[in-house]
C-alpha cells in the first residue's frame, strides 16, 4: 500500500498548542511521525541576556504556563547559587508547599485534557478545571496573582503566607483527595478508557533513558528517577514521601502516574505544614544592582511537574551572560517519534496527550 | 448591520416577516400548524427584517478553539464550570474556523505563525470578529524586543475588541464578549 502523508496542525484542537505533526500512514497504521516545532519561538534565552537578574522573573514563568512557579523558582535558585545567597529556613518550607500546590494544579489540568484527547470526555475537563480553580485560589491568596505569580525573591519570598492559609489549604487538600478518588472511579470504570489506553504507546525503560525522557513519563516506564529523591533540594530529604513507580510504560500507566503523584504531593504539603518553623521568610527587596559576580558558571536541576528542568547560567556583572534552559517538554516530545510507530492514527493523540506537553516550553 | 436597532424596529421586522411567510403560504393546501415556506421566501423575509438577523447574530457568538500560548489557559477557564460562558450563548469552542464567528487571538504571534493565523481568519465565514486577548496579541507584551514576534495582531487582522492583562482573567473575556455584542448591535461606535 502506498504511504499517505497527513499534516496535522499547527492549529488543531488536540495538539495542546501550536505543534505540527507530519504523519506518514500505511493504511491506518502509523509508519513515521515527524514533529515540526518552533511556532512559538520568541527567544527567551537571548532576551534574558539583555535583562537584569530581577527583570527576568516574568520571562521564565511564561515558559511553562501550566506550572509557572516551578520555572520561576528554578531561575531564582540559579541566581541565588551564582550570587551565593542562602535561602531562609521558613522560606524553603513555603516554597515547597507552593511548588507542590502548583504540581497538583498542573496534574489536574492533565487529567482534564486527557479526556478531551480521547474524544470529548468533556465532563472530566469541567470537573478538573473546577478543582484546579480551587487550588489557584489558594495560590492567588498566597501570592496575589492567579496565573503568573512572580513571588520568588532572592533568599526568600515577596511575602509570608497569609493568616489562616494553613487551615484553608488543608481543607482544600481534603476535598482534592476525595475528588481524585472520584476521578479514578469515573475514569477507570469506563471500559472504553481501558481499551484506548492500555498497552498503547509503550515506551521501554531502555528507550526512555536513551532519549533522556524525565518526570512522570520516565517513572511510568519503571525507571527510579526523581530529582526530589535522587539529589534532594530544599527540605525534600526531611519529608517522607514515596517515589511512585509503574512498570508497564503505556498510556494508562502514564495517566495513573499523575494521580499517584497528586496523592504524594498532598502528603508532602500536609507534612511540610506540620514541620514549618516560625520566623522570617522575606527575600531581598527588588534592587536592580546586585553584588558583582564575574564569569561564574552555575547549573541547577529541579523536578518540575513535567520532568527534570535544568538551568545553566554564566553570570556576568549584573545580568546573565548566557542562560541555557533544559526544557523537559522538548525532550519528552522526542519520545513520540518512537512511541507512535505501529499505532493507529486515532491513538496518536491519546499518546501525545499523556506526554503532557506545553509548547511554550518546547519552543522557548 | 447598519443603523440603530430598537425594540420597536424588531417588532416591526418580526411582523413583516410573519406577513411574508403568510403570503407565501396562500393558495397551498397545508395544515395551519405546520410551518412550511419556500426557501426563497424565507430569505426574502430575512433580508427585509435586518433587525432579526442582527438579534440572532448578537446572541449566538461562537468562538473558535484556537489557543496560542498562556492566555489559552484562561480561555479554557472561560468555558469551564466557574464562568460557564455557555449560559450567555457563547457556545462551546468550535474546532473548525468554518463554524466560528469570533476568533480569539490568545498569545504571542510569531512570524512563522502569521500566515497560519491569516489563513484561519480567511476560512471563517462572514461576518467575522477578532478579539485580541492579552497583551501579546494587543501590542507584543513582554516580548516587544524579541526578533521573532509581531507587535500586535492588529498588524495582520482587523481587531474589534482589545483585552488588557497578562494574562487577563476569564471574567475580562466575558466583558469583552459583551462589548463585542454591543458593537454588533450598534450600541457603541467603532
Q: According to the 3-state scheme, what is the secondary structure of A267-310?
A: HHHHHHHHHCCCCCCECCCCCCCCCCCCCEEEEEEEEECCEEEE
Write down the pLDDT at residue B57: 80
Q: How confident is the model at residue B39 (pLDDT cuts 50, 70, 90)?
A: low
Three-class secondary structure of residue A20 per DSSP: strand
Among the partner-chain residues B66, B68, B70, the one whose CB lies closest to the CB of A62 is B70
CB contact B103 to A (< 8 Å): no
> For chain B, how big is the Rg over CA atoms in Å?
20
A-B interface: how many C-beta pairs under 8 angstroms?
A: 84
* A322: β partners: A314
Residues of chain B in contact with residue A50, where contact means CB-CB under 8 angstroms, are 145
Lookup: cell for A233 = 533540594
Q: In terms of Cα–Cα distance, which of B66, B148, B91, B52 is closest to A363?
A: B148
DSSP symbol at B126: S
Burial of A334 (0-12, 13-18, 19+ CB in 10 A): middle
Q: How does residue B34 score in pLDDT terms, banded at 50, 70 and 90?
A: very low
Q: With CB atoms and an 8 Å threshold, state whether B73 touches A66.
A: yes
* Residue A74: predicted pLDDT: 92
Residue of chain B whose alpha carbon sits nearest to that of A59 = B142
Q: Is B167 on the interface with A (CB under 8 A)?
A: yes
- Among the partner residues A58, A65, A129, nearest to B77 by beta-carbon distance: A129
Taking the C-alpha atoms of residue B69 and residue B107, their distance in angstroms, rounded to an integer, is: 5
Greater confidence (A236 vs A122) lies with A236
Q: How many CA atoms lie within 13 A of A134 on its CB side?
A: 19
Pairing of strands A29-36, A152-153: unpaired
- How many whole angstroms separate alpha carbon A159 and alpha carbon A141? 11
* Strand blocks (E) in B8-152: 102-106, 129-133
* φ, ψ (nearest 5 deg) of residue A196: -80, -20
- Cβ neighbours of B72 (radius 10 Å): 24
CA distances from A255 to A121, A184, B13, B74, B176 (A): 15, 11, 56, 23, 36
Nearest-CA distance from A302 to chain B in Å? 22
B149 and A47: CB-CB below 8 Å? Answer: no
User: What are the DSSP E strand ranges found in A80-186?
Assistant: 152-153, 156-157
Residue B1 has pLDDT above 80, yes or no: no
Say if residues A40 and B70 touch (Cβ distance below 8 Å): no
Residue A175 has pLDDT above 90, yes or no: yes
Average pLDDT across chain A, whole number: 88
- ipTM entry: 0.81
- Residue numbers in B near A38 (CB within 8 A): 110, 112
pTM of the full structure? 0.85
Contacts of A171 (CB under 8 A, 6+ apart): none
Q: How far apart are CA B163 and CA B172, in angstroms?
A: 7
Cross-chain Cβ contact B70/A10 below 8 Å = no
CA distance B123 to B99: 9
pLDDT at residue B27, rounded to an integer: 63
The shortest C-alpha distance from B83 to chain A (Å) reads 10
Could you tell me where the beta strands, DSSP code E, fall in chain A?
A: 4-8, 20-26, 29-36, 152-153, 156-157, 296-304, 307-315, 320-326
Asked if the Cβ–Cβ distance from A146 to B120 is below 8 Å, we say: no
- Do A17 and B66 count as a contact with CB atoms less than 8 A apart? no
Looking at residue A120, what is its pLDDT? 65
- Does the pLDDT of residue A53 top 60, yes or no? yes
Residue B44 has a pLDDT of 63
| All three cell numbers of B140 | 507584543
A41 contacts B148? CB cut-off 8 A: yes
Residues of A in Cβ contact (< 8 Å) with B107: 40
Q: Which helix (H) or strand (E) holds A350?
A: helix A345-354
Read off the pLDDT of each residue in A274-280 and give the average, rounded to a whole number: 88
Average pLDDT over residues B65-80: 84
Instruction: State the nearest Cα–Cα gap between B108 and chain A, in angstroms.
Output: 8
Q: Is A137 helix (H, G, I), strand (E, B) or coil?
A: helix
**Which candidate from B74, B95, B145 shows the least CB-CB separation from A13?**
B95
Q: Is B76 on the interface with A (CB under 8 A)?
A: yes
Q: What is the pLDDT of residue A312?
A: 93
Q: Which of A177-186, A263-272, A289-298, B138-147 has the lowest mean pLDDT?
A: A289-298
**Is residue A64 helix, strand or coil?**
coil
Contact A28, A1 (CB under 8 A): no
pLDDT band at residue A177 under the 50/70/90 scheme: very high
Which residue of A17, A40, A145 is the best one to mutate when testing the B interface, meaning the one whose CB has the most B CBs within 10 A? A40
Identify the structural domains of chain A with CATH numbers, from first to last: 39-328 (1.10.645.10)
**Candidate from B72, B81, B146 with C-beta closest to A42:** B146
Residue of B68, B108, B167 lying closest to A147 (CB–CB): B167
Whole-number CA gyration radius for chain A: 21
Amino acid at each position: 500500500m502506498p504511504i499517505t502523508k497527513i499534516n496535522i496542525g499547527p492549529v488543531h484542537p488536540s495538539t495542546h498548542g501550536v505543534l505540527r505533526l507530519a504523519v506518514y500512514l500505511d493504511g491506518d497504521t502509523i509508519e513515521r511521525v515527524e514533529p515540526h516545532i518552533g511556532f512559538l519561538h520568541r527567544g527567551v534565552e537571548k532576551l534574558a541576556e539583555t535583562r537584569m537578574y530581577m527583570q527576568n522573573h516574568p520571562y521564565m514563568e511564561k515558559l511553562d504556563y501550566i506550572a509557572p512557579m516551578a520555572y520561576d523558582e528554578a531561575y531564582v535558585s540559579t541566581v541565588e547559587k551564582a550570587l551565593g545567597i542562602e535561602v531562609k529556613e521558613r522560606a524553603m518550607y513555603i516554597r515547597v508547599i507552593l511548588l507542590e500546590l502548583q504540581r497538583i494544579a498542573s496534574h489536574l489540568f492533565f487529567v482534564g485534557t486527557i479526556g478531551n484527547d480521547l474524544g470529548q470526555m468533556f465532563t472530566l475537563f469541567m470537573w478538573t478545571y473546577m478543582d484546579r480553580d480551587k487550588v489557584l485560589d489558594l495560590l492567588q491568596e498566597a501570592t496575589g496573582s492567579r496565573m503568573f505569580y512572580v513571588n520568588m525573591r532572592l533568599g526568600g519570598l515577596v511575602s509570608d503566607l497569609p493568616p489562616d492559609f494553613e487551615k484553608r489549604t488543608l481543607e482544600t487538600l481534603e476535598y482534592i483527595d476525595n475528588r481524585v478518588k472520584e476521578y479514578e472511579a469515573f475514569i477507570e470504570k469506563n471500559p472504553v478508557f481501558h481499551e484506548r489506553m492500555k498497552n498503547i504507546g509503550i515506551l521501554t525503560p531502555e528507550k526512555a533513558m536513551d532519549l533522556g525522557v524525565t518526570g512522570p513519563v520516565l517513572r511510568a516506564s519503571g525507571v527510579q528517577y526523581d530529582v526530589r529523591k535522587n539529589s534532594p533540594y530544599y527540605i525534600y530529604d526531611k519529608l517522607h514521601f514515596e517515589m511512585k513507580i509503574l512498570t508497564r510504560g503505556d498510556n494508562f500507566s502514564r495517566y495513573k502516574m499523575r494521580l499517584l503523584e497528586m496523592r504524594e504531593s498532598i502528603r508532602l504539603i500536609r507534612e511540610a505544614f506540620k514541620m514549618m518553623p516560625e520566623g522570617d521568610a522575606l527575600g531581598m527587596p527588588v534592587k536592580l544592582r546586585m553584588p558583582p559576580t564575574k564569569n561564574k558558571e552555575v547549573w541547577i536541576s529541579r523536578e518540575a511537574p513535567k520532568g527534570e528542568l535544568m538551568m545553566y547560567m554564566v553570570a556576568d556583572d549584573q545580568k546573565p551572560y548566557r542562560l541555557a534552559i533544559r526544557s523537559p517538554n522538548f525532550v519528552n516530545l522526542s519520545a513520540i517519534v518512537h512511541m507512535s510507530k505501529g499505532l493507529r492514527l486515532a491513538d496518536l493523540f491519546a499518546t501525545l496527550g499523556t506526554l503532557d506537553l506545553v509548547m511554550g516550553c518546547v519552543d522557548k | 448591520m447598519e443603523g440603530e436597532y430598537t425594540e420597536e424596529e424588531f417588532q416591526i421586522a418580526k411582523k413583516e416577516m410573519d406577513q411574508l411567510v403568510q403570503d407565501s403560504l396562500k393558495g397551498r393546501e397545508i395544515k395551519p400548524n405546520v410551518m412550511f415556506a419556500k426557501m426563497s421566501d424565507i430569505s426574502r423575509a430575512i433580508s427585509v427584517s435586518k433587525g432579526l438577523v442582527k438579534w440572532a447574530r448578537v446572541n449566538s457568538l461562537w468562538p473558535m478553539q484556537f489557543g496560542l500560548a498562556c492566555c489559552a489557559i484562561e480561555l479554557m477557564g472561560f468555558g469551564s464550570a466557574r464562568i460557564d460562558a455557555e449560559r450567555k450563548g457563547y457556545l462551546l469552542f468550535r474546532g473548525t474556523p468554518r463554524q466560528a464567528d469570533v476568533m480569539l487571538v490568545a498569545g504571542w504571534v510569531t512570524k512563522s505563525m502569521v500566515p497560519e493565523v491569516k489563513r484561519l481568519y480567511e476560512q471563517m465565514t462572514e461576518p467575522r470578529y477578532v478579539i485580541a486577548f492579552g497583551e501579546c496579541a494587543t501590542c507584543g507584551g513582554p516580548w516587544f524586543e524579541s526578533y521573532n514576534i509581531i507587535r500586535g495582531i492588529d498588524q495582520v487582522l482587523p481587531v474589534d475588541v482589545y483585552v488588557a492583562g497578562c494574562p487577563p482573567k476569564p471574567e475580562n473575556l466575558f466583558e469583552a464578549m459583551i462589548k463585542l455584542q454591543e458593537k454588533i448591535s450598534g450600541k457603541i461606535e467603532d
